[in-house]
Amino acid sequence: MIFDSHAHYNDAQFDADRFELLDTMPEDDVAYIMNVSDSIESVKKIIPIAERYPFVFASVGVHPEEVENLTEADMDVLKSYAKHPKVKAIGEIGLDYHYDDVSKDLQKKWFARHIELAKEVNLPVIIHDRDAHKDCMDILRAGDVSKTGGIFHCYSGSCEMAAEILDWGMYIAFGGTLTFKNNRRAKEVAKYVPIDRIVLETDCPYLAPEPNRGKRNNSSYIHFVAETLAAIKEMTAEEVERLTCENAKKCYRIED
Ligand code: NI
């Protein structure tokens, strides 16, 4: 039983077959999907998808690369969407210093503002941190993220950094990159983080795991990530899927 804790089925790469693909998910043992928004436009698209499928949930938030023209009026829009019964998180939010498109100060401002929003609406956060570990941790610490909890998506930090994130009661997500041969660091962190604090994710359509690396990703490919994690944890893939599914349900406060 799989919980894909981070997917983007609103992405244009799914325009041709979005519903056909989602229809097949239960057959592939995918029991839950968190469909994550990354812009104000995508927030409007994810709600109808979550309303169509009982196993699809939604998060609302603006990705750091999309915050350039964000306003307080947009935050009011997010706040009203956050009250929808299928919306279970604020995200994905954070910092992305990989590209130079949006100023660091603007990213930091809106990241902190989203954490305030999460506290206002009492929802966990989904964190995107690319090449920005120090500033990201500083903002999470200052914002007292232990009050909301949440998930560190596509985790790329150290074991030391993971220790502090675990202290805050947060979960750490692993996806396709865990299966990549050269990714020794992620495997080391996956070994370090206790299984009751790990969740699985795709970030689909991106980051497909081996042996499908480079192809369009989808939630059923999480089986390959579970197999890799099972080898690291010396468990069966079924156990890994069951436990990580329970973790994601607990984090997003989803009851059967
Ligand atoms: Ni994402």
CA 203 to centroid of ligand 1, rounded, Å: 5
Angstrom CA distances, 176 to 57, 68, 109, stand at 21, 29, 30
Cα Rg of the chain, angstroms: 17
Residue 172 has pLDDT above 90, yes or no: yes
Ligand 1 centre distance from Cα of residue 239 (Å): 25
Q: What spacing in Å lies between the alpha carbon of 253 and ligand 1's midpoint?
A: 20
d(CA 153, CA 151): 6
Whole-number Å distance between alpha carbons of 116 and 145: 9
CA of 150 to the centre of ligand 1 (A): 14
Note the pLDDT of residue 209: 97
Cα of 80 to ligand 1 centre, how many Å? 22
- Residue-level pLDDT at 100: 84
How remote is the CA of residue 63 from the centroid of ligand 1, in Å?
8
Q: What is the pLDDT of residues 71-89, one digit of tens each?
A: 999 999 999 999 999 999 9
Q: Which residue has the tokens 């979550």?
A: 50
Which pLDDT score, from 0 to 100, does residue 256 have? 81
CA distance 225 to 209: 7
Tell me the CA–centroid distance for residue 219 and ligand 1, in Å. Answer: 13
- In this prediction, residues 50-55 reach a mean pLDDT of 98
Torsion 163-93-10-26 (CA) sign: positive
Q: What are 124-161's pLDDT values in tens digits?
A: 999 999 999 999 999 999 999 999 999 999 999 999 99
What spacing in Å lies between the alpha carbon of 220 and ligand 1's midpoint? 17
Distance 147 CA to ligand 1 centre (A): 23
pLDDT given at position 90: 98
Three-point CA angle 56, 57, 61, nearest 5° = 140
* Rounded Cα gap, residues 214 and 211, in angstroms: 9
Omega of the bond leading into 85 within 30 degrees of 0 (cis): no
- Per the CB < 8 A criterion, the answer to whether 66 and 87 are in contact is no
How many whole angstroms separate alpha carbon 166 and alpha carbon 174?
15
Question: What is the 7 CA–ligand 1 centroid distance (Å)?
Answer: 6
| Beta strand pairing call for 125-130 and 150-152 | parallel
Residue 17: partners with Cβ closer than 8 Å, 6 or more residues away = none
When pLDDT is cut at 50, 70 and 90, the band that residue 215 belongs to is very high
Distance 164 CA to ligand 1 centre (A): 22
Around ion ligand 1, residues with a beta carbon closer than 5 Å are: 203
Once rounded to an integer, what is the mean pLDDT over residues 16-20?
98
Taking the centre of ligand 1 as the mean of its atom positions, its distance from the CA of residue 217, in whole angstroms, is 12
User: In angstroms, what is the span from residue 35 Cα to ligand 1's centroid?
Assistant: 9
Q: Give mean pLDDT, residues 41-55.
A: 96
List Cα–Cα distances, 137 to 166, 185, 223, in angstroms. Answer: 12, 19, 30
Q: For residue 149, what pLDDT is reported?
A: 98
- Alpha carbon of 196 to ligand 1 centroid (Å): 22
Task: State how far the Cα of 90 lies from the Cα of 248, in Å rounded to an integer.
Answer: 14
The percentage of residues in the chain with a pLDDT greater than 70, rounded to a whole number, is: 100
Nearest by Cα to 84 from 122, 35, 47, 56: 47
Residue-level length of the chain: 256
CA–centroid distance, 209 to ligand 1, in Å, is 15
Residue with tokens 């497909």: 208
Confidence of residue 29 (pLDDT cuts 50, 70, 90): very high
Q: What is the mean pLDDT of the chain?
A: 97
* 3-state SS class at 244: helix
What is the 256 CA–ligand 1 centroid distance (Å)? 25
